[in-house]
């Protein structure tokens, strides 16, 4: 069996895609066995034959209670499980089923996939990144790199549209908004900043449209459009179709309702939809502004705004961006495929793209308030977010107590100065000789590699002792190798179609 080389996968909230680099150097989407370029990220747990259906067949039919949507939104939640027939499935396992389908279908089309690059939103935290790699392993894939979606998309734009200069990638997908500012010079891409908002995307627009439909239905039929979750989800799907139509048409008529309260014909206009989502759209523009401000840029400093994500097909999104930047944004057309296409390019030429770290890493340290003399525990940042990677940075601290024999450094992930709002992702401790006064210098160095892996080193100047550890996020929800092996052989036996 042939082997597919340079494969990239966009494991999206609403749709996923797989691409590879053709021998001529251009990336191409590999359609799934249902003949589609995009595979809905939906899994249906069939109760008759135990088949796990993935894709459009899962999305369009069957019992909503057996259908899992938008699982990517929960990749960072160690407690989230989907329970079906008394069996609990984690987001990692559900994602693995989606990846299994992509892998199997690709094998039928162009050959067996072994190594892949999988993309994640730039603001995915350590747990969600780990869960993505694990999902790949469960599906029998060797995930050589995790790459940020906007980086992949930029690579595709650089390749296909021949653009260069300072570029803003505006990615509005199903679940997240990602804004990335980068510099493209030929094949070199330098990321200057990546910001994002979780839970801001097409799924929110669908909710707004559904509210609008429910309201209109109430007016017309004096009844509720849906009474339970099942009906609500059916209506939500109709709402999504209506939303897409409104990207092309100014006005549509939706026929919707139920047997008991009657069917209503509801006229929806693009204006109504735009009004319903205007607060959300304003938020996206505010995030654009914030991103620019945080690296002291203004709209004229951006040479091109490029569009990524299915929700950028909404005309109002383009209009707002054009107004803000004074020039129309560039679209490659296949806005929902470009992340996968770029991921394939990334697999081929990883070394030429430089990225930034997606989170600040720091330690907990005592700070004295110069004015009040009050001492409090704070998050001291060692590597700030958006530092180009690979990188290594140090901070020196003073020990706070006499006779300390064990120096412990808590490793934090997050930007907030308040320790309550950051994650503790690891700990490093060093035994030091007894009988020392407070005020000994201890240097903490963090290094961050291309795969977003972090190492920490602690160095005690007085004794010359040092210790170096890899920061592996071992928090709740992270599977060990044994679990992965067990679960992946279990997954292999599942019937996935």
Ligand X SMILES: Nc1ncnc2c1ncn2[C@@H]1O[C@H](COP(=O)(O)OP(=O)(O)OP(=O)(O)O)[C@@H](O)[C@H]1O
Out of ligand X, Mg ion, none, what residue 244 binds, judged by CB under 5 to 8 A for its kind, is ligand X
Candidate residues 27, 136, 150, 175; the one interacting with ligand X per rule CB under 6 A: 175
Please choose, from the candidates 336, 204, 352, 210, the residue with its C-alpha nearest in 3D space to the C-alpha of residue 278: 204
**x-marked contacts with Mg ion along 116-155 as a string, rule CB under 5 A:** ----------------------------------------
DSSP 31: P
* Binder among 8, 27, 174, 329 for ligand X (CB under 6 A): 174
Stretch of 27-35, 173-181, 407-415, 426-434 contacting ligand X, by CB under 6 A: 173-181
Sequence-separated contacts (24+) of 231-236 with Cβ below 8 Å: 231/258, 233/64, 233/67, 234/64, 235/210, 236/206, 236/207, 236/210
Report d(CA 364, CA 418) in Å as an integer. 9
For ligand X, the closer CB: 316 or 453 = 316
Least distance in Å: CB of 313 to ligand X?
4
Site string for Mg ion, 279-298 (x = CB under 5 A): --------------------
| Residue 196 in the binding site for Mg ion (CB under 5 A) | no
Give residues 53-72 in contact with ligand X (rule: CB under 6 A). 72
7-11 and 177-185 beta bridge pairing:
unpaired
Q: Residue 31 is encoded by which pair of tokens?
A: 């359609």
Which residues make beta-bridge pairs with 363? 380, 411
Q: Are 180 and 191 in contact (CB under 8 A)?
A: yes
Give the tokens for residue 123. 């603001």
Which of 314, 409 has the CB closer to ligand X?
314
Judged by CB under 6 A, which stretch of 130-138, 196-204, 324-332, 443-451 contacts ligand X? 196-204
The reply on whether position 173 binds ligand X by CB under 6 A is yes
CB atoms under 10 Å from CB of 351, counted, come to 6
The two structure tokens encoding residue 199? 């839970």
d(CA 99, CA 54) in angstroms, rounded, equals 9
- Interface residue with ligand X among 55, 310, 419, 426 (CB under 6 A) is 310
Q: Smallest distance, Å, CB 144 to ligand X?
A: 21
* Interaction of residue 243 with ligand X, rule CB under 6 A: yes
For 230, list phi and psi in degrees, rounded to 5: -55, -50
Please say whether the beta carbons of 324 and 350 come within 8 A: no
454 counts as binding ligand X under rule CB under 6 A:
no
The interface with ligand X within residues 245-264 (CB under 6 A) comprises 247
37 binds ligand X (CB under 6 A): no
Burial environment of residue 19 by CB neighbours within 10 A (0 to 12, 13 to 18, 19 or more): buried
CB atoms within 10 A of CB 95: 26
Question: Binding string to ligand X for residues 203 to 242, with x set by CB under 6 A, is what?
Answer: x------------------------------------x--
173 lies in the site for Mg ion, by CB under 5 A:
yes
**Binding partner of 311, given Mg ion, ligand X, none, CB within 5-8 angstroms per partner class:** ligand X
Question: Do residues 80 and 90 make contact, with C-beta atoms less than 8 angstroms apart?
Answer: yes
CB contact at 8 A, 476 and 78: yes
Is 477 a binding residue for ligand X by CB under 6 A? The answer is no
Query: Does 488 help bind ligand X (rule: CB under 6 A)?
Result: no
The footprint of Mg ion (CB under 5 A) covers 12, 173
Binding residues vs ligand X (CB under 6 A):
12-15, 72, 173-176, 201-203, 240, 243-244, 247, 309-311, 313-314, 336
């Amino acid at each position: 069996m042939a082997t597919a080389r340079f494969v990239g996968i966009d494991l999206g909230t609403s749709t996923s895609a797989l691409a590879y680099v053709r021998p001529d150097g251009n990336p191409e989407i590999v359609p799934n066995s249902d003949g589609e370029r995009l595979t809905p990220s939906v899994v249906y747990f069939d109760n008759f034959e135990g088949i796990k259906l993935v894709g459009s067949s899962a999305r369009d039919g069957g019992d909503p209670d057996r259908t899992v949507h938008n699982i990517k939104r929960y990749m960072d939640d160690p407690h989230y499980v989907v329970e079906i027939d008394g069996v609990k499935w984690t987001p990692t396992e559900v994602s693995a089923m989606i990846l299994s389908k992509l892998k199997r279908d690709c094998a039928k089309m162009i050959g067996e996939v072994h190594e892949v690059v999988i993309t994640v939103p730039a603001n995915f935290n350590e747990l969600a990144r780990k869960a993505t790699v694990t999902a790949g392993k469960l599906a029998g894939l060797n995930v050589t790199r995790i790459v940020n979606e906007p980086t992949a998309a930029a690579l595709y734009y650089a390749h296909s549209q021949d653009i260069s200069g300072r570029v803003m990638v505006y990615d509005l997908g199903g679940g997240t908004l990602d804004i990335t500012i980068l510099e493209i010079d030929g094949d070199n891409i330098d990321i200057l900043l990546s910001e994002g908002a979780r839970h801001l995307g097409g799924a929110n627009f669908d909710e707004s449209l559904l509210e609008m439909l429910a309201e209109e239905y109430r007016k017309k039929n004096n009844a509720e459009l849906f009474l339970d979750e099942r009906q609500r989800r059916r209506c939500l799907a109709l709402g999504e179709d209506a939303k897409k139509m409104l990207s092309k048409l100014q006005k549509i008529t939706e026929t919707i309702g139920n047997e008991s309260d009657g069917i209503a014909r509801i006229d929806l206009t693009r204006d109504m939809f735009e009004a319903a989502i205007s607060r959300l759209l304003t938020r996206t523009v505010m995030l654009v502004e914030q991103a620019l401000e945080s690296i002291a840029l203004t709209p004229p400093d951006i040479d091109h705004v490029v569009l990524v994500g299915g929700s950028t097909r909404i005309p109002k999104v383009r209009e707002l961006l054009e107004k803000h930047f004074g020039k129309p944004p560039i679209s490659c057309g296949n806005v929902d495929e470009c992340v996968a296409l770029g991921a394939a390019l990334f697999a081929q030429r990883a070394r030429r793209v430089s990225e930034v770290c997606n989170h600040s890493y720091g330690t907990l340290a005592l700070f004295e308030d110069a004015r009040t003399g009050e001492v409090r525990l704070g998050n001291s940042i060692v590597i700030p977010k958006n530092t180009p990677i690979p990188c290594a940075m140090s901070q020196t601290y003073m020990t706070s107590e006499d006779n300390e024999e064990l120096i412990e450094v808590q490793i934090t992930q997050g930007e907030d100065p308040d320790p309550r709002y950051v994650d503790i992702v690891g700990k490093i401790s060093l035994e030091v000789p007894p009988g020392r006064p407070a005020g000994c210098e201890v240097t903490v160095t963090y290094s961050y590699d291309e795969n977003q892996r972090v190492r920490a080193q602690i160095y005690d100047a007085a004794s010359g002792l040092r210790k170096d550890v890899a920061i592996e996020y071992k928090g709740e929800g992270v599977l060990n190798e044994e679990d992965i092996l067990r679960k992946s052989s279990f997954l292999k036996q599942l019937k996935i179609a």
